[in-house]
Amino acid sequence: MQRVAQVIKVRPERLAEYRELHLDVPQPVLDRLRRSHIANYSIHLLGDRLFSYFEYHGDDFAADTAAMAEDEATKEWWKLTDPCQEPVEEAAPGDWWTPMEQVFLME
C-alpha cells in the first residue's frame, strides 16, 4: 500500500462552490476511484489550501491514474472542480495537485 498526500490551493471566491460540490460526489467518480485501487480518500482544508490523502492498493499507479484521467465521468467532475483550484507556489511545472513528502509515520 502506498500513502499519497497532496496539496493545492482553493480559490477563495470558489470555496463555497467547492464545498457544495463535495457534498454529493457523483457515484461514477467514486466507482472509478475504487477501480483505480484508491481507498481512504479524504480532502481537508486549512486557509486557502486543500490537503488530500489516500491509500493506493494497486500495482501500477501511473496506469491507474491515467485510467482515471480518461474516464468520462471523472473528466466531467474535473470540469467542475478544477476552476475552484490553482497550484501552490511550490508546485513543479505541470503539477496540479502537488505531492507532499512524508516525514513521519506511526502505525
Task: Assign 3-state DSSP to the chain and report helix, strand, coil percentages, each to 5.
Answer: 40, 30, 35
The reported pTM is 0.92
Q: Spell out a b/e string for 42-70, using b for 16 or more CB atoms within 10 Å of the CB, else e.
A: eeeeeeeebeeebebeeeeeeebeeebee
Q: Please state the rounded mean pLDDT for residues 15-32.
A: 98
Tell me phi and psi for residue 34, to 5 degrees. Answer: -65, -40
Hey, what's the cell of 63? Answer: 496506469
Q: What is the pLDDT of residue 103?
A: 97
Q: What is the pLDDT of residue 92?
A: 95
Residue 18 Cα to chain centre, angstroms: 13
> Which residue is it, cell 480518461?
70
Which domains does the chain possess?
A: 2-99 (3.30.70.1090)
Runs of H (alpha helix) within 36-81: 61-70, 72-81
Give the model confidence (pLDDT) of 55-106 as tens digits: 999 999 999 999 999 999 999 999 999 999 999 999 999 999 999 999 999 9
Q: Which of 26, 29, 47 is nearest to 38 (CA)?
A: 29
Give the model confidence (pLDDT) of 61-71 as tens digits: 999 999 999 99
Please, what's the largest Cα pairwise distance for the chain?
39
Q: What is the pLDDT of residue 82?
A: 98
